[in-house]
Amino acid sequence: MKYALGILLVVFLYSCKTGANISNDELTDLRAENSYLNSKVDSLENELQRKLDTDKLLDHDSILFTYRRTPCLGNCSVFKFSVYQDGWATYEGKNYVDMIGVYTARLSQDQLNKIHRIFKSSFFYSFKDEYDDSRLDIPSMIVEYHGPQGVKQVIARTEIPYNFRSLTVELEELADEITWDPVE
């Protein structure tokens, strides 16, 4: 037993002595490596949180509005822009738009208030449900709003009222001013 304790004491002292012989250069390298690894861990944690937030968003069901433009036989913009009650937003660009793919963003309270003002000032609930005269190859603008008077959807292809066109222009301008993050 004495010999075992002696051997353990020698091993302990030897290991402490060899650990103290790290040069300043080696210590600097170890610190740099530690800093690099910490930044990688932080980056991975941030990416994981973004993906969790995106998954939560894509499963979201408290829609505020959705604005879609459908294709035509020419060069018509095709996209879907949705905003949720809690400020999350998605944009899916398909054809003839600057952003192709799926993007997400978090809107400010000011932007959410602006959306409510846009719908209110357009008198959205006064629009007919559909504006169409059955001509072919005309894209649709489809807006669905979940506002204070309930859910209303308007599909517009032709004979579109000025206020509805103004509404869609304002929604597109809002989409352009949002900082979007691509979903991978």
pLDDT tens for 67-114 read: 999 999 889 999 999 999 999 999 999 999 999 999 999 999 999 999
Q: Is the pTM of this model over 0.75?
A: no
According to DSSP, the residues that pair with 67 across neighbouring strands are: 81, 143
pLDDT digits (tens, 9 = 90+) for 36-46: 655 555 666 65
Confidence of residue 5 (pLDDT cuts 50, 70, 90): very low
* C-alpha–C-alpha distance, residues 6 and 68, integer Å: 80
Q: What pLDDT does residue 50 have?
A: 62
Looking at domain 62-182, which CATH architecture does it have? 2-Layer Sandwich (3.30)
pLDDT tens digits along 102-139: 999 999 999 999 999 999 999 999 999 999 987 778 99
Does residue 158 have a pLDDT over 50?
Answer: yes
Estimate to the nearest angstrom the gap between the alpha carbon of 79 and the chain centroid.
15
Length of the chain: 184
Give the pLDDT band of residue 48 (cuts 50, 70, 90): low
**CA–CA separation, 159 and 137 (whole Å):** 15
AA letter at 62: S
Partner residues linked to 79 by β-bridges: 69, 93
Q: What is the mean pLDDT of residues 19-45?
A: 64
**pLDDT value of residue 34:** 54
182 pLDDT higher than 60: yes
